[in-house]
Amino acid sequence: MNKQPKPERVDADNPEWSAPEVAHALRADQLPAPLRAKLGGRPKAAATKEAVKLRLDPDLLVVLRATGDGWQTRVNRILRERFAL
C-alpha cells in the first residue's frame, strides 16, 4: 500500500512499524506467561450467555433502560424466577 497518510492522522507517539519490526514481533501466544495473564482480559465464564434478538414494546424498553446499567441482567433474573429455572 503506497498511499501516503494524511498529516492530521499521523500519530508521532505511535509510528507505523517498519518491516524489520513486524518481522521481529511476537504473536500473543508467544509472549511470556505473566504478560499474557495481564493482557488476557476477563476469564471466560463457565456458562456463557447467548445473544438473542427480542422485540419489546418501546414503552417497556424505556422503563427497563431507565433502571440503569445491568437492566439486561435484571430481565434475565426476572425470567429465571418467573419460569422457576
At residue 62, the pLDDT reads: 96
Residue 60 lies in a domain: yes
Residue-wise pLDDT tens digits, 1-40: 567 777 777 788 888 899 999 999 999 889 999 888 888 7
Cell numbers placing 23: 518481522
Answer positive or negative: Cα dihedral of 18, 24, 30, 31: negative
Residue 1 lies in a domain: no
Q: Which domain holds residue 63?
A: 7-82
Q: What is the pTM of this model?
A: 0.48
Residue 2 lies in a domain: no
Q: How many domains does the chain have?
A: 1
At residue 1, the pLDDT reads: 55
Residue 70 lies in a domain: yes
Residue 18 lies in a domain: yes
Residue 65 lies in a domain: yes
Residue-wise pLDDT tens digits, 35-66: 888 887 788 888 888 999 999 999 999 999 99
At residue 2, the pLDDT reads: 64
Residue 40 lies in a domain: yes
